[in-house]
Chain A
Amino acid sequence: GDSVTQMEGPVTLSEEAFLTINCTYTATGYPSLFWYVQYPGEGLQLLLKATKADDKGSNKGFEATYRKETTSFHLEKGSVQVSDSAVYFCALSDRNFNKFYFGSGTKLNVKP
């Protein structure tokens, strides 16, 4: 069945460091891919999305490219800030957005 695997955390970085959180997926058909973020004490928020191969989603300095050949959707940011400390979830949905699968989450800690 469809599934998402993301790197385990926690990931601890210093401010202004480069961030990569790996995400790979298994899916039939042509899924859409998402990154969600959960800040401390808050609910899940959509960070970025990509609906077809080679699409790049971007928001708040974060980017992820839908790579069909490697079944990956890695999250990157060139320079992290303390305020980026949160749990990041990779997710996929079927073509019609009827069913969603989430990874287990990666906690990011950014130190000043």
Chain B
Amino acid sequence: DAGVTQSPTHLIKTRGQQVTLRCSPKSGHDTVSWYQQALGQGPQFIFQYYEEEERQRGNFPDRFSGHQFPNYSSELNVNALLLGDSALYLCASSLRGYEQYFGPGTRLTVT
């Protein structure tokens, strides 16, 4: 049984560009949450998707947007990248939010 997968593993972008990160949930899971983890910090909740809708959102600007597809996979889009957006982006899947399983993350570097 494949766990949560994320792509790409690493990404380097220039300030002002846009980026799309992808997540495939664990089999049987219907809910996807996205987190930003700065170096040496805990994950910060960005938003959660369920039934293709954003169910809850953390304290992140509108530059951060997402999407969930009918097969429950999800994308995180970040527009107008800032240097401060450099971080590890984690995806977590669950069945209706309970007991999250985390992916390995995508390391985004903005130069």
Binding site for B on A (CB under 8 A): 4, 36, 42-46, 49, 89, 91, 93-94, 96-105
Contact = CB atoms under 8 A, between A and B. Distances in A.
Contact of B33 (A49, A89, A100): A100
B68 to A, nearest CB: 14
B104 A104 contact: no
Binding site of B, secondary structure by majority: helix, strand, loop or mixed? strand
A102 B38 CA distance: 12
Binding site of A, secondary structure by majority: helix, strand, loop or mixed? strand
18 contacts: A36-B102, A43-B102, A45-B102, A46-B101, A89-B42, A89-B43, A91-B42, A97-B96, A97-B98, A98-B97, A99-B56, A99-B58, A100-B43, A102-B35, A102-B43, A103-B42, A104-B41, A105-B42
Contacts of A100: 33, 35, 43, 45, 100
Contact of B48 (A44, A46, A49, A99): A99
B97 A96 contact: yes
Contacts of B43: 44, 89, 100, 102
B55 A98 contact: yes
B25 interface: no
A89 B94 CA distance: 18
B45 A99 contact: yes
Interface in B29-47: 33, 35, 40-45
A46 B45 CA distance: 16
Nearest to A104: B42
